[in-house]
Structure 1
Amino acid sequence: MRAVTTQVRAHLRSDARDNRERILVVARAAFAADGLDVPIREIARRAEVGAATVYRHFPTKEALLTEAFAEQMATCSAIVDEGLEAGDPWSGFRSVIEKLMELHALDRGFARAFTSQLPNALESAANRDRTLRQLLELVRRAKEAGRLRADFVLEDIALALMANEGIRAETPQMRVAASRRLTALMMQSFQADPVPTPLPPAARLPLSRR
């Protein structure tokens, strides 16, 4: 009897782990494609579980966001750290913006999660705040080097990401191509003394919303 009970419990734990992982996979895909407004019930439907199952693993939407984007948050922190390690502040700053814009072009939900407030996700919030402080330091260095315009603020990065989110393309590859061209335009506008340079090739985009 004990052996049977142990097997049942192990099976239930295995099912719970499978459900949790499936929910995370579906949530990442949904948030990346459609942003953070996807309802929990829709995520549950796509994961083929009940909404109660989602809430059993993730009591709040903030908790689900934190877990779903943990890897992306770590990637963002690593990108900013690499920018700070660059010998030239402007090159480091430019590299960070280019990589963040490309990451956002492929995963629209991530940028919203990064800039949103997650009150129930203290570890994630602490990591985000550390990354923002590092980014501010990079901005300060680029300004002191005379390469970044003096009136630049972090909100300008948010504006760039908002513009990036407006890109509509038929494939992820075309979206990234359009994002690279937009980023090049943004970087020229961020410079203290902009020097016109050739832009990346333009992507074929619809000129009107379908």
Structure 2
Amino acid sequence: MTGDGQRMRADARRNRDRIVEAARELFTQHGLSVSTNEVARHAGVGIATLLRRFPTRDELVGAAFFPKMTGYRDAMSAALADPDPWHGFCRFIETVCGMQVADLGFTEVLTRTFPTARALESQRDEVAADFGRLIGRAQAAGRLRADFAHQDLVVILMANAGVVASSGPAAEVASRRLVGYLLRSFAVDAAHAADAADADADAAAAHAELPPPPSRTAMYRAMLRLRTAPPEPDSSP
């Protein structure tokens, strides 16, 4: 019985690993619209086996992208360790947007929320807290404009996701171009350039000031709305 039990546990672990690997591969190539039926077929298991291991889609996404979220967290750690806060800020934005280009599924993961994927969301929360520190450091150094808000990161990632999704083979170049423009607009020099270029004080202020950012609640609701997908086809083989 002991031997049979061990074999069953080993089989269960192998099935789980195959499912996670299949999900990671399909989501990376095609995005999160891939059905669980397709993941099960790609893994060589039945849909019932997949659902035993991952009762919710969030849990499957969380398992597939946990390593990528670890990389996301590592990018933030590197940014905070940079002795130049502005360089660290720019490096983080560039790295994360580059991660979106390389992985269609992760592009969506960064712009949605998955409440039941607790490990994944825990890492996201850690990065969010550290991003607040990074913003504060770059602003205190006088390099990041004072009106840059925490929730602007979600706006950046959503904008970049749109570029990645729509520009096909040109995604990498287009993304870099977008990020380059955005980082220049976030710099303090860009915020004050209009004052030097325009003698009209009112016009200068209009160019220098950004519209207020969406609230954190509004951005969270947007992420929830983005994750809503149409019902999957019947799960029968």
User: TM tier, shorter chain?
Assistant: 0.7 to 0.9
Q: Residues 66 and 119 of structure 2 are in contact (CA less than 8 Å); yes or no, is this contact kept in structure 1?
A: no
Q: Percent identity?
A: 38
Task: Determine if the alignment matches structure 1 residue 109 to structure 2 residue 105.
Answer: yes
State the shift of 1:133 in Å: 0.5
Equivalent residue in structure 1 for 2:26, among 24, 30, 36: 30
2:129 is matched with 133
| Correspondence list, 1:163-202, <5 A | 163-165=159-161, 166-167=163-164, 168-170=167-169, 174-194=170-190
Tell me the residue number matched to 1:81: 77
Distance 2:159 2:132 in 1: 21
Q: Deviations over 1:107-136 (max 9, x none)?
A: 132243245333323333222211101011
Paired residue total: 189
Provide the residue aligned with 1:207 in structure 2: none
Q: Paired residue for 2:36?
A: 40
Measure the CA separation in 2 of the matches of 1:131 and 1:190.
20
> Greater shift after overlay, 20-29 or 175-184?
175-184
* Kept in 1: contact 2:18–2:43 (CA 8 A): yes
Q: Spell out structure 1 runs of 4+ moving beyond 6 A.
A: none
* Most deviating of 72-81 and 159-168: 159-168
5+ unaligned residues in a row in structure 1: which ranges? Answer: 197-210
Q: Which runs of 5+ in 2 are unaligned?
A: 194-237
Which secondary structure does the structure 2 equivalent of 1:151 belong to? coil
Matched, 1:97 2:93: yes
Structure 1 residues 31-76: Cα deviation after superposition (integer angstroms, max 9, x where no partner): 2233323221222222232211111111211111111111111111
Preserved CA contact (<8 Å) 2:101 2:107? no
Residue 65 (structure 1) aligned with residue 61 (structure 2): yes
Residue 13 of structure 2: which of 13, 17, 29 is its match? 17
Tell me what 1:152 maps to: 148
Moved more, 110-119 or 96-105: 110-119
